[in-house]
């Protein structure tokens, strides 16, 4: 199967190494990622997938919060995967990082209790969003849960204006669905239930939202 196109973490490959310091400087990263992990209620026996693992910041937070669970991280960006593996090795953390083709997740059906993902879906166009959600549903166990942190519907005109910078960096084609609030409907379309927008954060780039949903099979 041919590899799908994707947008690097900061749209331009030369910005990849700046991703961690930029996020740390401009956003309440620890706050919203910690909230996402708390929301996921990860238990010791759970198998967790960090979809779009990026530089593994979220996975490493999970490992510190719940040291006994199993964690896999997957990403399409070879440079980001390299950084993630280096961070995991440095921390001596038991996290399996895998690169994939952006189309089919390299895991069997019903493999995971939780899928968590942070600032990934706004990099995907509509078809990629829907395909990713279908694949996530496939690899989740019955009653497994999906927890997302990403840009959501602008809370007010100021947040909408601030989000314009994100769209300049990451492209209008992939980000417009987020700012218009379409992500929950895409989650619903692909077979998830109990979909909720649990929390919203106002940042210098716009409204960041947390979502949760359950897969029924």
Using one digit for the tens of pLDDT, what is the confidence trace for 159-206? 565 554 555 555 556 677 777 888 999 999 999 999 999 999 877 777
Does 35 score more than 50 pLDDT? Answer: yes
Nearest 5°: phi and psi at 79?
Answer: -70, -40
Looking at residue 158, its pLDDT comes to 53
Gap between the Cα atoms of 167 and 173, Å rounded: 8
CA distance linking residue 49 with residue 73, whole number of Å? 6
pLDDT at res. 25:
46
Whole-angstrom distance, CA of residue 196 vs CA of residue 187: 10
Give the whole-number percent of the chain exceeding pLDDT 90. Answer: 63
- Give pLDDT, residue 215: 94
Give the model's pLDDT for residue 175.
72
Q: Residue 181's closest CA among 140, 121, 102, 138?
A: 121
How big is the chain by its Cα radius of gyration, in Å?
16
The encoded tokens of residue 148 equal 């997302």
Distance CA 153, CA 73 (A): 27
CATH architecture of 14-215: 3-Layer(aba) Sandwich (3.40)
Token pair listed for 79: 């440079």
DSSP 213: E
pTM metric for this prediction: 0.83
Structure confidence at residue 202 (pLDDT): 77
96-101 mean pLDDT: 96
pLDDT digits (tens, 9 = 90+) for 74-97: 999 998 899 999 999 999 999 999
Query: Which pLDDT band holds residue 26 (cuts at 50, 70, 90)?
Result: low
**Boundaries of every domain in the chain:** 14-215
């Amino acid at each position: 199967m041919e590899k799908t196109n994707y947008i690097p973490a900061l749209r331009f490959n030369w910005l990849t190494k700046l991703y961690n310091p930029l996020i740390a400087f401009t956003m309440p990263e620890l706050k919203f990622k910690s909230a996402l992990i708390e929301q996921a209620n990860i238990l010791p026996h759970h198998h967790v997938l960090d979809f779009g693992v990026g530089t593994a910041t979220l996975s490493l937070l999970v490992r510190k919060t719940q040291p006994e669970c199993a964690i896999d991280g997957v990403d399409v960006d070879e440079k980001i995967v390299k950084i993630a593996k280096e961070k995991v090795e440095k921390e001596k953390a038991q996290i399996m990082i895998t690169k994939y083709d952006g189309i089919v997740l390299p895991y069997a059906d019903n493999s995971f209790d939780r899928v968590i993902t942070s600032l990934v879906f706004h990099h995907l166009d509509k078809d990629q969003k829907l395909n990713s959600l279908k694949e996530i549903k496939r690899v989740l166990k019955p009653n497994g849960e999906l927890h997302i942190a990403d840009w959501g519907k602008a809370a007010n005109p100021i947040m909408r204006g601030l989000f314009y910078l994100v769209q300049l960096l990451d492209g209008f084609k992939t980000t417009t669905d987020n700012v218009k609030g379409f992500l929950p409907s895409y989650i619903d379309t692909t077979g998830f239930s109990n979909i909720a927008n649990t929390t919203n954060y106002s940042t210098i780039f716009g409204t960041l939202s947390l979502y949760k949903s359950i897969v029924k099979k």
